[in-house]
Amino acid sequence: MIRSATVSDAPAICTIYNHYIAHTVITFEEETLPESEMARRIEATLVSLPWLVWEEAGEVLGYAYAGGWKTRSAYRFAAESTVYLRHDATGRGIGGKLYARLIDDLREAGFHCVIGGVALPNEASQRLHENAGFRKVAHFEQVGWKFGRWIDVGYWELMLSAA
């Protein structure tokens, strides 16, 4: 059910993500993405980091991937994680399984920590991170503006290796 994403997954991934862009504050993107842009993002990520999909009966129901935390070289052992599920596939444990595999892949690749950002409030995402062993390390107030309101962002961190 979990496999590495390919560029051919871009239409399904785009459908999942564009729902959150158009209907929620979970992502701070405000314009839906064309499939070509999603394909470009997948391809660029897979050069050095994991991008996973959850597939059932030929349908992609969710995805998780990692990006670099910051561009400066000293941050090279820190990753930022992301997970999205098709809006009708939540509550089944898919997000937790995708995250567990992503974390294992990052640990195996030699990353020291992984960071997850969460638009607040978002109890489901907070619970997902905490169930995966992350702990809240930051809370920024009113850093995003979407749908006519200010949105806070929290950051959760998981250490993957000993200091």
Q: Which residues pair with 144 in a beta bridge?
A: 151
Q: What is the pLDDT tens value at each position of the chain, 163 positions in all?
A: 999 999 999 999 999 999 999 999 999 999 999 999 999 999 999 999 999 999 999 999 999 999 999 999 999 999 999 999 999 999 999 999 999 999 999 999 999 999 999 999 999 999 999 999 999 999 999 999 999 999 999 999 999 988 7
Closest listed residue to residue 8, CA positions, set 50, 32, 43: 43
- Residue pair 110/92 in contact (Cβ under 8 Å)? The answer is no
What is the value of pTM for the model shown? 0.95
Domains and CATH numbers, the chain: 2-159 (3.40.630.30)
